[in-house]
Amino acid sequence: MSKAPSVTRRLVVAIAVPLVLFFALTVAVLDNVFREQAALALRQELEQQIVALVTDAQMDRAGHVEVPTLAPDSRLSRSGSGQYALVRNQHGLMLWHSPSMEDVTLDAGPGMEPGQSTFFYRQVIGGAQLAILSRGLQWEYSAGRSADLTFSVAEDTSTQQARLWQLRRRMVGGFSTLAALLLAALGWQLHRALEPVRRLEQEIGEVESGTRAALSAGYPRELAGVAGSLNTLLSSERVRIARYRDSLGNLAHGLKTPLAVIRAALSGGGTVGVAVDQEIDRITRIVDHQLQRAAGSGGASLGQARCYACMRRRICRSILRLSRRPHSSAMPVI
């Protein structure tokens, strides 16, 4: 039979499961908040890039767009820098793109109507993910002449994803450490709180093995009543056993004389019927009297009266078998 789990283990598991679930839910909520904040910050950065691009862009009468003031140290000036920009007309035809797009094919979606904007993520060749912001503007490039243009800026999210993963690892590590410390502290507190229960279990085992007569005092209020009840039960049991021992001693002493008479009558070889019957009746009365005293003293257990009746019947049957052997000089063992 497998050993039942301890109370300490059950309590630790009962608290650890909701605690771990709470920490996991907290990590998930914080991760979602950080992702939203990172996406918002990235979009604001792309908005600033579009404002700077619109400010620096120029368009001639032929419809060609140029950004002559693009800074040399700008990421838009370096090929493969992870930041890209392009300008398209209302038909989606590319009018200008940043030098960083020389080796990159970027699908920034359809052209935008003036006043419209869109922000989305798209995978490109090589597995990189780009965050793309497009905004439609009505561009007035000369007096009385304007054109609907779409300015798009894209940013590689690899750096952002790396920061998010680093933040996730820190959150998981931090919350895991916190959960482990809390569970360790909880286990230690439970171990101390349940020390009286373990002491009670140990003392009960010592009582069962016979090395202790009663339980000690000094238990907490919740266990003091149980310990007192067990001590009362143990005391009552000791009194009951002592009374049974005395009753059985009296029974054995009372049977000595009738058994001696039966032995003498059987060994004499005379007529023994009447004497044997009288002595058997006497033994029966003694047995009934002593066993009734033992059964009525000290709270007998269930089924004990049946054992006494069986004992009486066995004694009577042994004596009856003895009476049917008048020529035997040996006394059977009862």
8 Å CB contact between 329 and 266: yes
Mean pLDDT throughout 208-212? 84
Amino acid letter, 48? Q
Distance CA 313, CA 292 (A): 14
Distance CA 326, CA 304 (A): 35
Does residue 65 sit in helix, strand or coil?
A: strand
Each residue's pLDDT tens digit, 112-142: 888 888 888 888 766 778 888 998 888 776 6
pLDDT level of residue 72 (50, 70, 90 thresholds) = low
291 pLDDT more than 70: no
Mean pLDDT throughout 149-167? 89
% the chain with pLDDT above 90? 9
What does pLDDT average to over the chain?
A: 78
Tell me the whole-structure pTM to 2 decimals.
0.58
Mean pLDDT throughout 101-114? 80
Task: Give the per-residue pLDDT at 242.
Answer: 84
288 pLDDT more than 60: yes
Task: Give the per-residue pLDDT at 177.
Answer: 93
Task: Give the per-residue pLDDT at 302.
Answer: 37
Angle at 29 between CA 27 and CA 32, to 5 degrees: 105
Higher pLDDT, 159 or 29: 29
Each residue's pLDDT tens digit, 10-49: 888 888 899 889 999 999 999 999 999 988 999 999 998 8
8 Å CB contact between 124 and 103: no
Task: Give the per-residue pLDDT at 22.
Answer: 92
- Can you name the residues that pair with 120 across neighbouring β-strands? 132
8 Å CB contact between 144 and 120: no
Task: Give the per-residue pLDDT at 315.
Answer: 57
Distance CA 280, CA 204 (A): 45
